[in-house]
Amino acid sequence: IRYSEDKGWHDAKITARQAVSMDPASSVLHYAQEIFEGLKAYHRPNGGAALFRPEANARRFNDSARRMAMPALPEELFLESIRALVRTEKDWIPDSEDGALYLRPFMFASEVFLGVKPSAEYLYMVIASSVGAYFKGGAPSVSLWVTREYTRAAPGGTGAAKCGGNYATSLIAQAEATRNGCDQVVFLDAVERRWVEELGGMNIFFVFDDGTLVTPPLTGTILPGITRDSLLTLARDQGLTVREEPYSIEQWRADAESGRLTEAFACGTAAVVTPIGSVKSAEGSFSIGGQSAGPLTQRLRANLVDIQRGQAPDPHGWVEKIQ
């Protein structure tokens, strides 16, 4: 779908994937006005497909657009673009336990000029691609590297927006994690460099021996994950105490070593819920629980996955069926 200031949104179509030709002065190539979303369509046991909370992605897309001085895409247009593509592609949704059709809506500035100002033209597209398990072998525990050198987002910055630039800045930290033998990077806040924020592409939860859960609050520097929000709701449904509050890396180490912290997991659309087995930083390493998924992590994961795949009741009306 195209946008121009004079015509608004127009020219919606579904085509086979093809190359996009761009002028070298297209403004996204210089000033990075680009945002995206990620969601999945699941195979239904009785045929057809199901989307999980697509309205939440539509809302977050427009929150990102506002932050990046881009025009809003009417929610109904976002939703219809997703539904139409799922209807076209639904025979390609794998019906394996971890399979899904991954949908990647994105929008970028396409006006041709070199001055620094918001573009007057945009292109919105959705890519559909069938996917299997994010981590091979299901959900093994992952090891994290705490980066001290790099931060992902500062107050007043774009941390709460899903813009490409946030990911560009996290690549060097992810490379640092890989070099240090870890699977994923975990970021600390930019001001005090001690509060745990999130991973490169996942939010984080901590589980304590009294059965409570803690996750960092949405203060504008982390992405408001839809999986995070869903798990907070499911945990409260299960009668668990959940707190959205800052948690420091020093406290994490102390609690892991004393046994007060029993589990930790990362969550997001791609990998759903992934246990964290160990944490490494320049100061040393510590491990968490038994290095495999703890009981509460497993329970929350199963609860969410069963709702997404139509194998459990959907008390919050999160699942939208597509025939």
* C-alpha radius of gyration, the chain, whole number: 20
Binding mask 148-187 for ligand PMP (x = CB under 6 A): ----------------------------------------
Interacting residue with ligand PMP among 2, 32, 38, 240 (CB under 6 A)? 38
Q: Does residue 198 belong to the site contacting ligand PMP (CB under 6 A)? A: yes
Q: Facing residues of 145 across strands?
A: 185, 280
Interacting residue with ligand PMP among 71, 105, 216, 225 (CB under 6 A)? 225
Contact 160/221 with Cβ under 8 angstroms?
A: yes
Stretch that binds ligand PMP, among 25-33, 42-50, 194-202, 283-291 (CB under 6 A): 194-202
Per 3-state DSSP, the chain is made up of helix, strand and coil in percentages (nearest 5) of 25, 30, 45
Q: Alpha-carbon distance 198 to 103, whole Å?
A: 22
Tell me which residue has tokens 């997991």: 265
Q: Does residue 268 belong to the site contacting ligand PMP (CB under 6 A)? A: yes
Q: Does residue 217 belong to the site contacting ligand PMP (CB under 6 A)? A: no
Cβ burial 294-311 (10 Å sphere, 16+ → b, else e): bebbbbbbebbbebbbbe
Interacting residue with ligand PMP among 119, 262, 269, 281 (CB under 6 A)? 269
Binding mask 271-300 for ligand PMP (x = CB under 6 A): ------------------------------
Stretch that binds ligand PMP, among 117-125, 225-233, 277-285, 289-297 (CB under 6 A): 225-233
Report the nearest approach of ligand PMP to the CB of residue 108 (Å).
17
Residues of this chain that interact with ligand PMP (CB under 6 A) are: 38, 198, 201-203, 223, 225-228, 268-269
